[in-house]
């Protein structure tokens, strides 16, 4: 899935994006790439609320299960 976000990246965002697109990271192992991507996503989530709001608006809403809840 790809999301295209329009936001103003801070200095830390720019550093992380440069690191993620560096040749070392492009050829790094899968776990290293996943860890660095997760770090960047955490930064976006906690420091850029406009990004989180845009993502929430674009993701499809989940419908509640139509089955009755017998444990209520």
Q: Are 17 and 40 in contact (CB under 8 A)?
A: yes
The residue extents of the domains of the chain are 11-56
pLDDT at 16 over 80: yes
Q: What's the whole-model pTM score?
A: 0.67
More confident residue, 2 or 71: 2
Q: How many CB atoms lie within 10 A of CB 33?
A: 14
**Mean pLDDT confidence for 51-65:** 71
Q: How far apart are CA 19 and CA 17, in angstroms?
A: 5
């Amino acid at each position: 899935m790809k999301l295209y976000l329009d936001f103003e990246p801070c200095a830390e965002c720019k550093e992380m994006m440069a690191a993620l697109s560096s040749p070392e990271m492009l050829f790094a192992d899968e776990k290293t790439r996943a860890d660095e991507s997760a770090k960047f996503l955490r930064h976006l989530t906690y420091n850029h609320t406009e990004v989180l709001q845009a993502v929430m608006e674009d993701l499809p809403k989940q419908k509640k299960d139509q089955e009755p809840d017998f444990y209520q």
